[in-house]
Structure formats: C-alpha cells, structure tokens
Structure 1
Amino acid sequence: MFLKMKLALGARAVPEIARDPQTGVLALRLQIDPGVLVITAAEGPDGPRDFATFMARLSTEAALLAASVDPTVPSRERATAGDGAPEGPLARWFSASGAGGFGPEVGQ
C-alpha cells in the first residue's frame, strides 16, 4: 500500500497507545484534531517485531525533530517522573519497570 499525506495538528492533538478491540493488537493512535490516524503492525510472524523496530525509530526521529523545532521543549528523559516513568497522559499505562497497562481501545 502506498499512502502519502500531510496533516496539520489541531490544538487538542495527542499521540496515544491503543488496543484494537477485535484483535487485541496494540497500536499507535494519533488524535490529529480533527481526525484520527492509527498505525499498527502488519499481519504475519515478523509484523510485531517490525512494528516495534519502526516505533523505536519513530521515537528517535521524533525526539530529534522536536529538539530541532523547539530546543526548549523537554526531552523524554526530562519529561519523566525521575524514576523513568513517563508523566502526562501515558503515565497511567506505564510504570518504571515498563508497560503496566494499556490505553483505550482503537475504536474509541
């Protein structure tokens, strides 16, 4: 599949971890405001690993982009609670030891 798009974020845009209610698969949901974009793993045995690799790369690139656009925005390390756990909307889904729960379902 080939998809090319350009999106402008609204005032209430937020990235979220979500779970597909039909498959149980985790996904990245981008609430664009208005609109929603969901990115999930491809089917097949390598899908989850490829998805995890992509998400890790996305995280790195997003941090570099954020620092380039506005160096005063805190990095992920500075946006933690001091114990490695993220603060903000995702804090209730993660603990210092890693994933501690899941976000809302994709269909919500």
Structure 2
Amino acid sequence: MSNFEQHSYGLWLVFADVSYLAGFAGFLPSESAVPSLIYGIHPDVWGNGYATEAAGAVLRYALEQLAFPKVIADVDEPNAASVKVLEKIDMKQTRRSVVKGRPLLYFES
C-alpha cells in the first residue's frame, strides 16, 4: 500500500476467477525513478494468458494513466515463457548481463 501512496503504483492481484488467486502483476520502484515491471503466475494456470494480460494491463496503466515515458523489466534469460510475455506486450530487449552468475535480459517499453 505504501508504494501506491508514494508512487501511484504497486502490485495488483490476478484472479483466475473470483475465488482463485492466480498471481500478481505490477511495479516496483527503481533507482532510476522508472517503474520496474514484475509479475508472477501460479504454475497451475500457466499457458492461459494471465501473465500476458496482466503485464500488458499494468504496462498500459503506467504509460497511459501515469504518463511514464518508459517502463523497464528484467528476466532470467532461461525463462523463455517470461521473455515471450515481455515481447508480446511490445517491450524490447535492451541488453544482457550476468548478475551473481545468472544471465539476465533487460527490457524496456
């Protein structure tokens, strides 16, 4: 709640129906004042489009309602499904790096 109070954004819950919490999507503040997109969907509902729908909705909110010029995201390179989600919502890969032995891909809108 403090992120919503301070930044007008935070994490929203994703429901597969009114009683099944499927995951979350939203933003974390970053050092550069550009919001960082994050999301997570429960494995039981992977492949149903929830990640793409939720990530796309919060991205549009940040760009259209909050008027951010861009949004950033990072993903573990081996996580092909998350890379595909970011590509589907028109985020572009900007760089690759290795952080603590893990290859990361960086995206921005």
Give me the TM-score of the superposition, normalised by structure 2: 0.33
Give me the TM-score of the superposition, normalised by structure 1: 0.33
Q: Give the structure, 1 or 2, with the largest relative contact order (CA under 8 Å, sep 6 or more).
A: 1
Larger of the two Rg values belongs to structure: 1
Of Structure 1 and Structure 2, the greater helix share is in: 2
